[in-house]
Amino acid sequence: MQTLDPDFWRGRRVLITGCTGLLGSWLCGALMERKAEIVGLVRDTVPRSLLVSSGNIERIITVRGDVRDQSLLERVLAEYEIETVFHLAAQAIVGVARRDPTGTFETNIGGTWALLEAARRVNSGAQIVVASSDKAYGAHDELPYTEEMELRGRHPYDASKSCADLMAQSYASTYGLSVAITRCGNLYGGGDLNWNRLVPGTARAALEGEPPLIRSDGQLTRDYLYVEDGAGAYLTLAQSLAKNPELAGRAFNFGNDAPVSVLELVRAILEAADQTNLEPRILNEAQDEIPAQYLDSSRAHEELGWQPEYSLRDGLERTLEWYRNYLA
């Protein structure tokens, strides 16, 4: 976060959709440190959310409602005079998207166009950062992904992110909306209590002395980004967009530029937990997974001055420490 202006966020009125999720919780914390005024859109009560368990939810304005409710979003943007929007709300689990494509499309696509249309109608001039994903690129023969590559998501989650990404570009191009797009690698960090995900599940198994489970064949290659670096990426992009309107409509990759296989990541977690005697169980039951997905983050380095602060080892150690305290 070394490129951030220490005074930019002070008193700035910020809306976060999806504020109880992993990234939303950490982003709220980072904005609180910078004295921003935060409004969070909350659909469900999530007692185990880091935002709730940390007590930070009591320090922000919470609005109850669904991200697909355009009239509600219009009211929030106008009433709270929002200056920056972080649109994170989404159905984010690939397996759930496969089982329930309708719900995924309604939230990920419908929620995005509701927000963009609300911003257009209110004409607030707010900067909007829309969360896309490396999954939006779909399968490509050449890697790493660069921002110029075609978006070709084919499976439900991937396709929902491709659509949301393209809609954000459309609203910038057609209506002049001040919107930019993040395409991040797989985010991980303390506070993620979905034990079916690779990092939380492996961390818990390692700390409890149990063999970790790998749903895939272990060879899937991905880009993993520590959540505090992810929060820094969002803050950097929003601040840059406010200072340089020409960034509107553009997308930026954010990753560690150091892809690893699932099996390599699991072994790195076991090593960080001092549990190298445990042998992972490979289930090989994952479906609709692209073999290799990883990013080239050069544009973010060169144009935004963003760099991740944490190596994979550093991020995993911080993550394990969080889970160690939580499980204790």
Q: pLDDT tens digits, residue range 17-58? A: 999 999 999 999 999 999 999 999 999 999 999 999 999 999
Q: Residue 86 CB: number of other CB atoms within 10 A? A: 29
The pLDDT score that the predictor gives to residue 1 is 44
Query: Within a domain: residue 131?
Result: yes
At a CB cut-off of 8 Å and minimum separation 6, what does 238 contact? 84, 86, 127, 129, 180
Three-class secondary structure of residue 61 per DSSP: strand
Q: Residue 76 CB: number of other CB atoms within 10 A? A: 22
Q: Are 131 and 88 in contact (CB under 8 A)?
A: yes
Below-70 pLDDT ranges, the chain: 1-3
Query: Within a domain: residue 30?
Result: yes
- What residues are paired with 188 via a beta bridge? 226
Q: Which of 223, 226, 221, 301 is nearest to 2 (CA)?
A: 301
Report the percentage of the chain scoring pLDDT > 70. 99
The pLDDT score that the predictor gives to residue 281 is 96
The string of pLDDT tens digits covering residues 114-165 is 999 999 999 889 999 999 999 999 999 999 999 999 999 999 999 999 999 9
**How far apart are alpha carbons 67 and 88 in whole angstroms?**
10
Structure tokens of 43?
A: 């659909």
**How far apart are alpha carbons 259 and 292 in whole angstroms?**
9
Query: Within a domain: residue 65?
Result: yes
Domain carrying residue 182? 13-188+224-256+295-308
Q: Which of 247, 197, 233 is nearest to 86 (CA)?
A: 233
**Cα distances (Å, whole numbers) of residue 165 to 59, 130, 156, 161, 187:** 31, 8, 14, 6, 18
Structure tokens of 254?
A: 């954010």
This model's pTM is above 0.95: yes
Query: Within a domain: residue 290?
Result: no
Q: How many helices (H) and strands (E) does the chain have?
A: 12, 13
CATH number (domain holding residue 239): 3.40.50.720
Average pLDDT, the chain: 96
Query: Within a domain: residue 153?
Result: yes
Q: In what order do the strands lie in the sheet with 37-42?
A: 61-64, 37-42, 13-17, 84-87, 127-131, 179-184, 251-254
The pLDDT score that the predictor gives to residue 5 is 86
The pLDDT score that the predictor gives to residue 123 is 86
The pLDDT score that the predictor gives to residue 2 is 47
Three-class secondary structure of residue 107 per DSSP: helix
Q: Are 107 and 68 in contact (CB under 8 A)?
A: yes
Query: Within a domain: residue 242?
Result: yes
Query: Within a domain: residue 95?
Result: yes
Catalytic (active-site) positions: 157
Query: Within a domain: residue 32?
Result: yes
Q: In this structure, are strands 221-222 and 260-261 parallel, antiparallel, or unpaired? A: antiparallel
At 275, which amino acid appears?
Answer: Q
Q: Which of 98, 65, 310 is nearest to 188 (CA)?
A: 310
Q: How many domains does the chain have?
A: 1
Question: Looking up tokens 């719900």, which residue turns up?
Answer: 103
